[in-house]
Structures are given as C-alpha cells and as structure tokens.
C-alpha cells in the first residue's frame, strides 16, 4: 500500500460515521444572504481561538457512483484541541478509531485486532481532513484551499453556510477533487461535510448532530487500552 493511500484510508475511516439515510436535507440557497467569504473567514478566526473540545453524534454515507451503491454507518466522536480524538462506530459494525498525538489506532473487536499508524510527516495532511471545521481558523483554511461561499441553507432546522473547498496542493488533489463544508451559523461548527474522491466521482457525506462544544473530556478517553489478547499490527506505508 502506498503511503498516500494509507493516509487517505485513515482519513476516510476517521472521518467515518455516517450521514442520514437521505444524503442531504437541504433548503434552497438563500440569494439574500449578507455573508461574504471574508466575513465568514474572519468569524472562523475568532471562533477558532475559543475552541477546546467537542462531542457529537456522527453518521457517514459512502456513495459508489458507478454501481449506485450506498453504505451507512454511525457512531459518536470526541475531539480535543491537543491532537486527541476518539470515534466509536456502533452501527453496523463496531470499531474504535483513536488518535493520540501522531499515532492512530483502528480497533476491530470482531477479529480482536488493532492497527497502529504513525503519521510522522503526514500529520499536517491528515489534519486537513480530520479537523476540518473543528476549531479550524479561516486563515489556515485559506492557506490550504481555494474557498467559495455557495450560500445559506437549512439543515436540521438550523441555518448553515455552505463553503466549497478546492485543494491547493497536488498531494491532496490526488485523493480529493473538492470538499463541501456546512457551518452552523449559531455555533460555527460543521454540521455536514462532503468529500469528492478524485477520478471515480464517488463521495461520502458526514453529518454531525447533538454537538456539545468545549465540554470536559478526560485523558482516559484517548488512551489506547485494548482487551487482553488483542493482536497489534503496524501496516507498512
């Protein structure tokens, strides 16, 4: 497996948890929105300074266009600003995805195995996917993407601004052609993300609900403790 493929697989799995059965519950884009891209990015800068942690329910739908196949999984995410994250996938197949600094773990209880990845120099690349909208400043987003404000929509009865992000680096463009990001105007947290894979046209959408910002999450939540007898493997990049 090539290193870029491993990083992309981590990003897809980590971003995992899946959107609802309907891919998007959109209202028509508001042509009267007073927001500009500069205003949005400045607001993101201000909100990023105050972001420390988040918990939320997640749903992820992967769509394979050529065969019109859809698969959905759901779970819960906990994120802390200090490079820590935990995703508990509960449906349809349980697994734990854990980040502790530069190390990622993917634990599969069905086969009693955990995969361990060291990000190394790929940390900043993974962060572009993993932390997209979670305390991301507007200035850092602008460094990595060409950004277009596509309007105002309503998701889950909440007003959201939809941004389209085009990757600036060749490394990211090899994996993703574009990303769409919906930001809740009341919290400035992502309510939805949509990732379009390069070449295939396949995409996946992640929806976040029941979000709690800046809650206390203990260190124990992010420790790699696995049941006795778990086999650990370190796939080669």
Per-domain boundaries in the chain: 3-233
Residue 117: exposed, middle, or buried by beta-carbon count in 10 A (0-12, 13-18, 19+)? buried
Q: What's the CATH architecture for 3-233?
A: Clam (2.50)
pLDDT tens-digit series, residues 214-224? 999 999 999 99
User: Quick check: pTM over 0.85?
Assistant: no
Rounded to 5 degrees, what are φ and ψ at 184? -65, 125
Is the torsion defined by CA of 94, 100, 105, 110 positive or negative? Answer: negative
Q: What is the pLDDT of residue 196?
A: 94
pLDDT tens-digit series, residues 1-53? 444 555 555 555 554 433 333 333 333 333 346 899 999 999 999 888 889 99
- Higher-confidence residue of 122 and 184: namely 184
121 falls in which pLDDT band (50, 70, 90)? confident
To the nearest 10°, report the CA torsion of 165, 213, 139, 182.
20
Q: What is the pLDDT of residue 237?
A: 56
């Amino acid at each position: 497996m090539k290193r870029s493929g491993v990083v992309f697989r981590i990003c897809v799995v980590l971003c995992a948890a899946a959107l609802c059965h309907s891919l998007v519950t959109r209202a028509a884009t508001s042509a009267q929105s007073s927001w500009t891209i500069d205003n949005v990015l400045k607001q993101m800068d201000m909100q990023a300074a105050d972001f420390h942690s988040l918990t939320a329910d997640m749903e992820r739908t992967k769509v394979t266009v050529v065969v019109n196949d859809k698969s959905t999984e759901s779970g819960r995410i906990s994120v802390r600003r200090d490079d820590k994250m935990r995703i508990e996938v509960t449906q349809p197949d349980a697994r734990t995805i854990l980040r502790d600094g530069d190390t990622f773990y993917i634990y599969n209880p069905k086969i009693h195995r955990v995969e361990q990845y060291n990000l190394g120099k790929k940390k900043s690349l993974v962060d572009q996917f993993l932390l997209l909208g979670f305390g991301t400043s507007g200035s850092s987003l602008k460094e990595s993407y060409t950004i277009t404000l596509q309007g105002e929509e309503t998701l889950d009865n909440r007003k959201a601004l939809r941004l389209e992000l085009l990757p600036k680096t060749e490394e990211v463009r090899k994996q993703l052609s574009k990303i769409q990001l919906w930001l809740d105007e009341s919290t400035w947290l992502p309510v939805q993300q949509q990732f379009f894979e390069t070449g295939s046209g396949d995409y996946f959408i992640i929806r976040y609900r029941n979000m709690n910002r800046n809650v206390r999450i203990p260190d124990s939540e992010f420790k790699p403790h696995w049941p006795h007898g778990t086999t650990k493997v370190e796939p080669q990049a």
